[in-house]
Structure formats: C-alpha cells, structure tokens
Structure 1
C-alpha cells in the first residue's frame, strides 16, 4: 500500500461556511496569530507533511455568506514566514497569483523563506482573475484564461531560472585569499517572453531545496496541462475514487508526453473529514453545520446583496423538479414529496442521510435546508469515526486514485485537532503514513528529488 501525502489547508475561521458559528470555534481574524500557532503545533505533532495557505486578492460583504474565510485573512507569504520560526519540520506552502505577482519579487521572497526555514517552503501558483482583483492591481482589462496560462507558464520558467542564479558553491568566502564569489557560478536570467521579462540574476542564494515544490490546482483542460508540465503537485477536486484514478492517469500521461518523468507529479485531492467519537456523533456534527448555513428564505423579504443565488429553495425547486412555493427552509421533507422529486432530489436525500443520519420518513427527517446546503455547498465530505475516515483514505491509496490528501477542517480548532489526533494515528497504524518525519525538507516529505541547477548542468555538458 502506498505512503500517502497528508497536508492541511489552513482556514482559520473554518472551511465550512458555518464553521465559525459552532461553539468554541475561532472567529476573529485579528487573533489569527494565535490560531496559526496552535494549528502549526497540532499539525507538526501529528507529523503532517505541510500546511497549505490559499489566497484571494479582494474582499467584500458578499463573502460573509459565501466564503467567510475570504473576508479577512493573513497574506500567505507572511503566514509561512511567521510559522517558519515557530516550527522545525513541517512544510509550509503559500499561494501566489501569476496574473498579478512580480516574478522577481516572488522568487526573492520564496527563496528567502526557503533558506530561513531550512528548506520547508512550497509555492502554489494560480492563474485566476476577477474584476475586484483587477481593480486592486490597477488593471482595466480581464485577460482570457489562455493568456493568463501563457503568462503562468513563462512565470514558472522564470522562477526556476531565478532560483538557479547562484550555483550551490558560488559563494567561496575564502578569507585567506579574499575571494568571496566565483563569478562563473552566478548566472543572469535574461528571459524575454511575451508576458514576462526578467534580467536577473536573483540577489538571494539558491534555495535549500534548489527549487521550491510548485503546486497547481484546477481541473480545466488548461489547468491540467499546466500542472502536468510545470507543477510538482497537482491539487484536483474529484467526486469519487473512480474519477480520481482516471484523472491521475490523465495527468501523468500528459506529464509523460511533455517529456518529464511522470512519477515526479504528485496528485493530491482536497477533502473535508468530519470526525466523531462514533458515526452518530460525526453525523450530529455535520447536521449542526448544515443547520447553521443560511439560505435565501431565512430573510423575510430578500437576502442581502451578493448572497449566493443558488442557495435558495427557489433554486432547489429547479434542481429537484417540483414546486416548493409556501415551504420554509426548516420544513421537513416528506416521503410523498421525495417520491415526486427528480433522481437528483433522491440522490441529495441519500447524501444527506449518509452525512447527517437524517432519513426521509424517520423520526428525524431532513429539512429543505439540508437539501439546499448539500446541493450548493461543494465540499468533498467524509463523515465518520477516525477508523472509518482512515480506512477510506487507505482505500484511495490502495486503488492508486491519489498520492495524498489536502485536508480541510470545518471548524478550527476542534475538527482539525480531531483529525490530527484521531485519524492520523489510524493512518499510521494502517501503514500509509509515517510515524516520524523521514526527511528535513518539503521535497523530502513529498518524495521529490532535489533538482540540479540548470546552469551547472549546462556547463558540465560543455566541459
């Protein structure tokens, strides 16, 4: 059975829209320093491979109901710099957007963090754009996806060349001779692309890892191609084990066709486990999270501007194929009403039963809120005990569906601690996750070799 990569996607106010509302949950981003410190301590004690920080370059009141964790958050590079001083072994991955970032500044910051952390930094490159972020960066025109990915490809190439500016032994520092630098081993970048132009060299020594591991997320054809050609880790959301195995094979085939060793591409899936002492306990946690999610009909007149339009009974009616006029969000779903639903409505009810234990026709039936939330809050949830969740992870590993999981926690700190202290030991018992760190760098944790410096490799060929 394969060794799984296990990392945690950090969202300090929880990864579920209602996670911050649960008793004892972290709520205030002004106290994120304490929350990050606590998360890192728990994660490193569990021997997790990395902490992962996503990003969003704008904010607004509409995010309160859609994605509360995006309303206010610490800059990812700042977060991993802070945590690098508080941890000693765990990897730290920050997100940067190639549409808006400057490649020289990013190469300098990330090389510095890798040196300061002893080789534990990683970089998630994204290529998105939206009007709010455009406005925040003084841009008037939103570029098409193909153009953004063309820039991302050049950006990734430039990052690696900048990181390779210094060969590993370029700094001689010979006090007797007074010779500090071997100038033959400091290399300009001289990159002139259609979207990126950088002279170089970088004024930071080569990172401990040579190149920071690069992550890319997305399932669009262009995202898959970028991940296969340019990333070390592809982060892909998949609906089930069968599709995951297919997508992993597709990505590795694209990697092979691009001329790289396809075994060096790691495929990791995001997952949101809800952990309980018993299955019923876990279902009660998922049930409470669902009950705390607002839907449009909770307001007597209309929801606030920017509220997710699909999170409503009106939208649900279109999905399940029946009229829901006159019903309220917390009205129970009856057997007769379910019988009139489309196959999708029946599937939603079955998923609600699996996650929350609420069964149509029982003493505890699901409500319309349960159906709305299950249909519109997209999270790859696994609900159960530590043993059940670990067994599901191991089954994915055994099937070759993924190389690992990026774990989200519905609430902080309770659900993250439940995963780290409950599920992780079970994974270790099953032999799919190590009991101790097996290396010192993020590349070690991911099973990746340290790349050769492109300049020294070229010189050896000439010599």
Structure 2
C-alpha cells in the first residue's frame, strides 16, 4: 500500500500571495497575529495535518510591501512554535533558524526545550540567509559569501547534534534512597571546534524525546543540496513541474545514498498554493480577484511607491500607458502596438507563456465577455506562484499526480490569504485527500509522523533509543 503524503502548513499570517491581505475578510494586521495563529493551529490539528512550519526573514524595509508583504513584520519562529505548543497536542512545530547569525548553544537549548515541552513535536528549519540587510542587523559589515555560509552551516548542524546528545537517555538516576540524581558518566561535553563554530557543552537541557529533532533545509545551490542530502530529514524544493521535481528528488536521494544514508530517510517536499472552492468557477473567481488586487506600478503612483515596486511589476516598462491602460482588455493585435520599441518580442514571448496560465486559473481569455486585462497579465507574470485552482477533486488530482510521478513525498501548503482559504482547504480538500488515502499519517513524535528512522548518535554511531511518548 502506498504511504500517505506528508502534508504540512507553511504559516504566513498575511497570506502567501502579495495581494492576499487585500482580499475581503482577510487577516491584515500583524498586531493581531496571535489570534490568527491560534486559529490556524487548531484548524490544522483538527484536520490531522503533519506540522506547522514557520519561516523567517531577518530584516525589513518598505520594498517588502510590494514584493512579499508577509515578510514586513512577523513573529519570531521559535516564539510562535512555543506559543502554539500550548494550544495543540499532536501536530509538529517546525521553526526556522538562520545558522549564519544564530548561536549553536542557544539554538540547541531552545529546540531541545521545545521538543521536551511538546513531547517530541519539534523540528528545525536551518537556513543560511539571502537578505543582505541582515548583516548590519547583527553587527556585521557584509553578508557572508555562499561557501563561508555553508561551511558554517555544516559545522552548526554537527554542534547541534552533539549538544542534543549531551545527556544519555538513562542519565537521570533520581534515586531518593541513595541521593544519586545523575550518572555523571552519561553526561558528555560537545567539545566541538570547527573553523566557523566552537562549542564546549554539555547542554543544560535533558535529552530531547526525539534525540535529534528533524532538520529541514531548502536551497538550489550545489552546496545547499549537498547539505540537505547529508544532514536534512526534509528537503524543501521549489518546482512547478512534476518532471522537474522528480529529477530533483532523484538527485537528492542519490546524494543522500552517496553520503552513507538510507535515501528513504530524506523526504522531499514541494510548496503548493491550493485555491479551493466548492466549484471550479468559484475558485477561479478567487484567483481572478487576487490578480486584480496585486499592486503594480501603473505610472500614476508617487515616486517613493514607484521606486519600491519590483522591476517586473512596472507597467511602464512594458506598455505605452498613454495609449493603453492597465485595465484595458488584451487583444492579440494590440501587443506590438502597445509595448515600447525594442521590447515587443521579449514581452510577446512572456505574454504567450503567461496567457494560458491566466486562462486556466481565472477562466479569462483574449476574447469574449470575460477578457484578460493587461493588469491580469502583468500580475500573473510577476508573481508566478505554484497555484492549483479548483474543486476539492482538482486539488486531490494534483496531489495524486505529483505523488504518482515520484515528484514529491509531500507538500507544504501555503494559503493565499488567511484564514478563509486555509479553512477552505481543510474543510473541502482534506476530506477528499483522506478518502483517496493521500493523507493520514500517524506517530507519537514528529520523527515518527514523517516516517523517519531513529537518528544515528554521533557519540556512539548507533541509532538512538526511542525516548518519546
């Protein structure tokens, strides 16, 4: 029997789509994130999904308003996970830590504590960072280069594992008759000294129930994939095509096997934005509205706002706005006349690739009473989210197709806006996914739930004994 897919929730309270916060009824105020976080967590746990995933970004600025508004202001990931530990009982909690700037001892302590407090539900997503402004926020002159960051990340992982192993599972004697509390021989220092990371230990937190909480990593560079293959339990990949995803998954599994691992212990996960409604038409109407609400530089905004827009969301770089407005319908004959000299070929090629996407997701086309507008086209081209749009059956078809193609072991579900679209996914699509056997994993700990074997301990190179409930 085929194993159910891993299905987690990538939590973005302002929505995963740049215009999601503008959708009627959507959550739009980070100061009230606590309430929507509780709501998402309870809905996800009631739907028996596998984990909540909290990303991070170590800087902010006005440009993010138009590029990725969910990054402007967000709760610290470990704080969010710990906060939701008290309102959930079974779902995994994965928090992001940036190894370029984090302290390994503090990270080991926080994650071991989260694992203990949740009975083995903690996970950690390790990133190396891509935001240059983060360097100044941490007292550095510049963001480290790729090789330096991954050298540190590899050492960071080893330091974490050694610190998590500071206490043997049976180190606590607690013999009230003899007065012996611990077996001192079963408490070890980490004693790790690399070129980037040094830590002595031992950790002043008891051994985590999972011994090693699951490690997640995402990236596309050769160093990133090597780190994921050697150290990660979940590898996150971005792919919009199942054939591309299947090739990437096969590569990662081969790299894992070459590093001495069982490739089945590396799970490959892809992101997806399911826009679901009771009917295809209703789901398409949601995407249609989201595209119309994507802010673009139409030449009328003030200078400060215009300079903050991403380059590919500027109408003036494609169109002669004196002749054609953003909400005018597109017509095949109008492209060459509308775009500035020298850009017609480039834009026509991009437009042809995007028009089919717009039509599939909104039901609009180049003719008839429901035409594609220039605003639809620019927005869809500028924000190429991995949408799957339609009824519960269409969402399940998508999940099933990717599984059967060997493209993924599971999905990180992002919601275009919160909380209504996430609740639509859980109430409409999840029952159909469950009916088909596509979801429905079990396990006392997050490692169990993900289908991972016991971790090999660095101190003795033997699988860890289960200590979770």
1:418 equivalent in structure 2? 424
CA distance in 1: counterparts of 2:54 and 2:116, whole angstroms:
19
1:308 aligns with 2:314: no
Shift of 1:388: 0.6
| Structure 2: distance between partners of 1:298 and 1:405 | 39
Match of 2:20 in 1: 19
Deviation at 1:224, TM superposition (A): 1.1
Any gaps of 5 or more consecutive residues in structure 1? 318-322
Report the alpha carbon displacement of residue 456 of structure 1 after superposing the two structures with TM: 4.5
Give 1:20 shift: 0.7
- Residue 398 of structure 2 corresponds to residue 397 of structure 1: no
Per the alignment, residue 29 of structure 2 pairs with: 28
Aligned-CA RMSD value: 1.8
Q: Is the 8 A contact 2:58 2:131 kept in 1?
A: no
- How many residues of Structure 1 are paired with residues of Structure 2 in the alignment? 453
| Pairs within 5 Å for 1:239-254 | 239-254=240-255
Deviation readout 1:368-390 (Å, 9 max, x if unpaired)? 11111111113101011111111
Q: Which residue of 2 aligns with 1:352?
A: 358
> 1:406 deviation in Å?
0.2
**2:372 paired residue among 366, 369, 394:** 366
2: CA distance, partners of 1:156 / 1:46: 32
Aligned to 2:327: 330
Deviates more, 1:230-239 or 1:218-227: 218-227
Partner Cα distance (1:420, 1:241) in 2: 23
On the 8 A contact 2:174/2:180 being kept in 1, the answer is: yes
Tell me if 1:439 matches 2:443: yes
Contact 1:275 1:384 in 2 (8 A): yes
Cα displacement (A) at 1:356: 0.8
CA distance in 2, matches of 1:393, 1:347: 24
In the alignment, which residue of structure 2 is the partner of 1:455?
459
Other structure's SS at 1:93 match:
strand
Q: Cα 1:457–1:227, aligned 2, differ >3 Å: closer, same or farther?
A: closer
8 Å Cα contact 1:229/1:255 also seen in 2 = yes
CA contact 1:210–1:452 (8 Å) conserved in 2: no
- Decide whether the 8 Å contact of 1:165 with 1:200 is kept in 2: yes
- Post-superposition CA distance 1:324-365 (Å, at most 9, x none): 763222111113235876343212111100111111112111
* SS of residue matched to 1:147: helix
The aligned runs of 1:179-198 (5 Å cut-off) are 179-198=180-199
Distance 1:233 1:300 in 2: 43
TM-score (norm 2): 0.93
Tell whether the 8 Å contact from 1:338 to 1:346 is kept in structure 2 after alignment: no
Query: Following the alignment from structure 1 to structure 2, what is the Cα–Cα distance between the partners of residues 343 and 244?
Result: 25
In structure 1, distance between residues paired with 2:456 and 2:98: 26
CA distance in 2, matches of 1:226, 1:278: 42
Following TM superposition, by how much is the alpha carbon of 1:313 offset from its aligned partner in structure 2, in angstroms?
Answer: 2.2
Contact 1:166 1:205 survives alignment (8 Å): yes
Question: Is the Cα–Cα contact under 8 Å of residues 115 and 121 in structure 2 kept in the other structure?
Answer: yes
Q: Is 1:202 paired with 2:199? A: no
Determine the C-alpha separation between the residues in 2 that align with 1:47 and 1:251: 28
Q: Match of 1:454, SS?
A: coil
Q: Does residue 379 of the first structure (1) align with residue 401 of the second (2)? A: no
Contact 1:99 1:129 in 2 (8 A): no
Q: CA distance change for structure 1 residues 171 and 35 in 2, over 3 Å: closer, same or farther?
A: same
Distance 2:67 2:461 in 1: 49
Task: Report SS of the residue matched to 2:418.
Answer: coil
* Distance change in 2, residues 1:346/1:325 (3 Å): farther
The answer to whether the 8 A contact 1:216-1:234 is kept is yes
Task: Report the CA distance between 1:316 and its aligned residue.
Answer: 4.4
1:2: Cα distance to partner? 3.6
Residues in 2 aligned to 1:43 and 1:179: alpha-carbon distance in whole angstroms: 44
Whole-Å separation in 2 of the counterparts to 1:441 and 1:409 = 26
- Hey, what's the Cα distance between the residues in 2 that align with 1:272 and 1:41? 20
Deviation at 1:129, TM superposition (A): 4.2
Partner SS for 1:208: coil
Quick check: 2:455–2:463 contact (8 Å CA) kept in 1?
no
What is the match of residue 320 of structure 1? Answer: none
CA gap 1:293/1:422 in 2 versus in 1, 3 angstroms = same
- Larger mean CA deviation between 57-66 and 227-236 belongs to 57-66
- Equivalent residue, structure 2, for 1:153: 154
Q: Do 1:167 and 1:453's aligned partners in 2 also have CA atoms closer than 8 Å?
A: no
